[in-house]
Amino acid sequence: MSSDMQVFRLPDLGEGLTEAELVNWLVAVGDEVKVDQPIAEVETAKSMVEVPSPYAGTVAELHGQAGETLDVGKPLISIARAGAGSGSPAAAAPAALSSGIDASQAVEAAAETYRTEEKAGSGNVLIGYGTPGGATGGRTRPRKASVAVVDRVAEPVAVAEPVLEPSVAGTRIPGKLSAVISPLVRKMARDHGVSLDAIAGTGASGLIRRRDVEAAISAPEAPAAPAPSRVESPAAAEGALDGRTGLAVSARTPVRGVRKAVAANMTKSRSEIPEATVWVDVDATALLEMRAELKKRAPHDTPGLLAFIARFVTAGLKKYPALNTRFETAADGSQEIVGFEGINLGFAAQTDRGLVVPSVRNAHELSARELDAEIRRLTAVARDGKATPTELGSGTFTLNNYGVFGVDGSAAIINYPEVAMLGVGRIIDKPWVVNGELAVRKVTELTLAFDHRVCDGETAAGFLRYVADAIENPGGALADM
């Protein structure tokens, strides 16, 4: 390859994922690009992100089309170096972020630390589900020629570009080359107005990690990304017949992005979790009446019904903590039930891009009004495709309000790796016996799916009855919380 041509390979965008969907190009062949300028929008798992360029120069080739799924490590874009052909080494050296400049072994150790943590699931990623610590079975990448860099360059040096691993290819900054490895970490800092010069990296040789940037941000949020345009493949051939049914094929839709992530998670849940289900009908009349009274007093500051139920759920999980755990099997076959000192309450949110489950962190510390505000905020960012990995992948228990779809109940699939999910059906008028007399009441159905490995039916029924009683007598329940 010409030393004047720089090839940026699709980096691992989180959790060792092996592919990403190219949603949209933000540049075209012939465009001039700068370091950290967004060049493409890509989607992987449940998040979408703008990928910044680690190089400055002229776009020479785009390796892929919108709607195409690209493998991590494959060429994404080729960029001709800025000033190429001028005959001046000084013009070429600053733009070549992977110039192969000699440096200390400590800096190479920093790069290796990044690679190792990325493979192990350290949390030093920008998008994806989050990172399951100690997860195995991910993508393996043979280490190629190592690259060393220095913080200060005495004289410009023009040398042939070395071969880099996809995770670190073209990800350094002139003048501070060892400070930041990942271009996505740099973009995260830039989007939140954080100066990298003011951050002391906690990695080897001062490597700035994602956690260092997060620590400098008071309210971290994911980089803004417009809603993706879905691309579906047409039928393989007009009028082609399906071999099994004999019917004409009307369309073939690739399973990718959110749908692929949901399919993988649900399959894993069904194959690994021996789940059981318990349910109960609940008279929610008193809860609706209490909320209606609160709404008269504060029309614009009254929590929704889901927020009150969420408050009852967190109280119930404190009483029955076995349902707020995780079941783990180690490589040697040993098994553990992992408990948590706190509750991250997930809730299912339907979006244009598919079903996602953002979670309210430390939900047990929030009032119903605070839970309502956080649920509304997370629903908005999830539907905009801006939810962070932490918001999407840190739940310990899921609350699913499928009543909004007009159904009474559901045999839900547990949101792996959690061990339980509570579903709430629609609230409708039903005949109900009150003090020995028949009356019309507002009734809903609660359904609890639970992992039978972590508890027995007595625990599950106890939790479900606790939440049901709180809904039927909300005033007394809230007084005790």
Q: Greater confidence, 333 or 185?
A: 333
Q: Which of 356, 329, 311 is nearest to 451 (CA)?
A: 329
Cα separation, 173 vs 287, in Å, equals 57
Q: What angle (nearest 5°) sits at the alpha carbon of residue 57, between those of residues 40 and 188?
A: 45
Q: Coil, strand, or helix at residue 75?
A: strand
Query: What average pLDDT score do residues 51-75 get?
Result: 89
Q: Greater confidence, 2 or 376?
A: 376
Give me the chain's average pLDDT, please: 77
Cα separation, 144 vs 135, in Å, equals 23
Annotated active-site residue 364? The verdict is no
Query: What average pLDDT score do residues 367-396 get?
Result: 90
Concatenate the DSSP letters of all residues of 370-386 into one string.
HHHHHHHHHHHHHHTT-
Among the residue ranges 38-47, 334-343, 382-391, 433-442, the one predicted with the least confidence is: 38-47
Domains by residue range for the chain, with CATH: 5-215 (2.40.50.100), 258-479 (3.30.559.10)
Q: Which of 173, 353, 180, 185 is nearest to 257 (CA)?
A: 353
- Is the model's pLDDT at 137 over the cut of 50? no
Q: Greater confidence, 451 or 188?
A: 451
pLDDT at position 296 is 92
Cα separation, 370 vs 70, in Å, equals 41
Q: 444, 424 in Cβ contact below 8 A?
A: yes
Q: Which of 150, 124, 18, 131 is nearest to 71 (CA)?
A: 18
By the 10 Å C-beta count (0-12 exposed, 13-18 middle, 19+ buried), 131 is classed as buried
425-448 pLDDT, tens per residue? Answer: 999 999 999 999 999 999 999 999
Active-site residue, selected from the candidate residues 63, 192, 300, 452: 452
Sequence letter at residue 280: V
- Is the model's pLDDT at 393 over the cut of 50? yes
pLDDT at position 446 is 97
Q: Greater confidence, 381 or 119?
A: 381
- Is the model's pLDDT at 126 over the cut of 60? no
Query: What average pLDDT score do residues 261-268 get?
Result: 84
pLDDT at position 321 is 97
pLDDT at position 330 is 92
Q: Which of 317, 322, 319, 369 is nearest to 346 (CA)?
A: 317
pLDDT at position 174 is 37
Is the bond preceding 274 in cis, omega lying within 30 degrees of 0? no
Among the residue ranges 39-48, 178-187, 358-367, 385-394, the one predicted with the least confidence is: 178-187
DSSP state for residue 112 in the 8-state scheme: H
241-254 pLDDT, tens per residue? Answer: 888 888 888 888 88
**% of the chain exceeding 90 in pLDDT:** 41
Rg (CA), the chain: 26
138-148 pLDDT, tens per residue? Answer: 444 444 444 44
Among the residue ranges 112-121, 201-210, 278-287, 460-469, the one predicted with the least confidence is: 112-121
Q: 259, 410 in Cβ contact below 8 A?
A: no
Backbone conformation region of residue 376, classed left if phi is above 0, alpha if psi is from -120 to 50, else beta: alpha
Q: What angle (nearest 5°) sits at the alpha carbon of residue 127, between those of residues 363 and 347?
A: 30
Q: Greater confidence, 223 or 384?
A: 384
Helix axes 457-472, 305-319, angle to 10 degrees: 140
Cα separation, 60 vs 45, in Å, equals 29
1-28 pLDDT, tens per residue? Answer: 556 889 999 887 655 567 788 888 999 9
Cα separation, 55 vs 82, in Å, equals 9
Q: 465, 277 in Cβ contact below 8 A?
A: no
Q: Which residues contact 222 (CB under 8 A, 6 or more apart)?
A: 47, 49, 126, 127, 381, 386, 387, 388
Helix axes 368-383, 305-319, angle to 10 degrees: 110
47-62 pLDDT, tens per residue? Answer: 667 888 989 999 999 9
Q: What is the pTM of this model?
A: 0.56
pLDDT at position 363 is 96
Q: Greater confidence, 351 or 472?
A: 472
